[in-house]
Amino acid sequence: MVLTSIIIGLGITYILIGVGSIIERLSGHGTRLHLSWAHGAWVAFLFVWMVSFWWWEFRLLLLLKTWTLGHYFFIVSYAVLLFLLAVILIPSDWGTTESLDEYFLSKRRWFYPVYLMAAMADVIDSLLKGGWPYLRGVGFMNLAFSVAAIPVCIVGVRSRSIRVHSFMAVVLFLWLVVLCFEVSPKLTF
């Protein structure tokens, strides 16, 4: 789990550096930056997802009695997908970024398919933790959250309306927060 912790840590670091860069631009360093509800909500969503991923992988350590190299590669791949989402969401060249709306729209065809792959990896991760009984145990809302990634991805790739992207991002962020803090079972050691 050390490697996955490093990958998730790098992703969170990338997000925090991005937020720091936004604050620097808003403080008058560089040209004015136009903020975006869609971009901000997706960044917040990803941050919460990364933290919850790291937290729940400790549950996997408790539940999965026999580890294989395949299991390990899968968990590392899932962490890599989350890291890639951070890299896609956060501009690498802040000097040419004037609008986070425009930036997000330009990256949507990369962002949504990677998001869908990560959501499906989350379902497989849950199956590794205990199969269908585990999925039923965490509740319908958790499974519906992952399945919702399919229409979100289709709409996200096709839509050029920043309002649509903002709406989806805010709804999914709020849904994830509810799942993380109210619905999901607590970890016991």
Instruction: Determine the pLDDT at residue 170.
Output: 98
Residue 81 has pLDDT above 90, yes or no: yes
Q: Is residue 18 part of a domain?
A: yes
Instruction: Determine the pLDDT at residue 131.
Output: 81
Residue 114 has pLDDT above 60, yes or no: yes
Q: Is residue 189 part of a domain?
A: no
Highest mean pLDDT among 49-63, 85-99, 121-135: 85-99
Residue 26 has pLDDT above 80, yes or no: yes
Q: Is residue 26 part of a domain?
A: yes
Instruction: Determine the pLDDT at residue 141.
Output: 84
Instruction: Determine the pLDDT at residue 189.
Output: 42
Q: Which of 3-12, 53-62, 63-72 has the lowest mean pLDDT?
A: 53-62
Which residue range forms the structural domain that includes residue 73?
2-183
The structural domain count of the chain equals: 1
Instruction: Determine the pLDDT at residue 157.
Output: 97
Amino acid at 162: I
Nearest to 75 by CA among 124, 33, 26, 29: 124
C-alpha torsion angle, residues 46, 49, 51, 54 (rounded to 10): -130
Q: What pLDDT band is residue 185 in, cutting at 50, 70 and 90? A: low
Residue 168 has pLDDT above 70, yes or no: yes
Q: What is the mean pLDDT of the chain?
A: 90
d(CA 66, CA 138): 22
Residues 136-165: what's their mean pLDDT? 92
Q: Is residue 188 part of a domain?
A: no
Q: Is residue 165 part of a domain?
A: yes
Residues 70-79: what's their mean pLDDT? 94
Residue 95 has pLDDT above 60, yes or no: yes
Q: Are 156 and 108 in contact (CB under 8 A)?
A: yes
- The H-assigned helical ranges of the chain are 2-26, 37-63, 69-89, 100-138, 140-147, 149-158, 162-178
Instruction: Determine the pLDDT at residue 127.
Output: 85
Residue 117 has pLDDT above 80, yes or no: yes
pLDDT digits (tens, 9 = 90+) for 29-42: 878 899 999 999 99
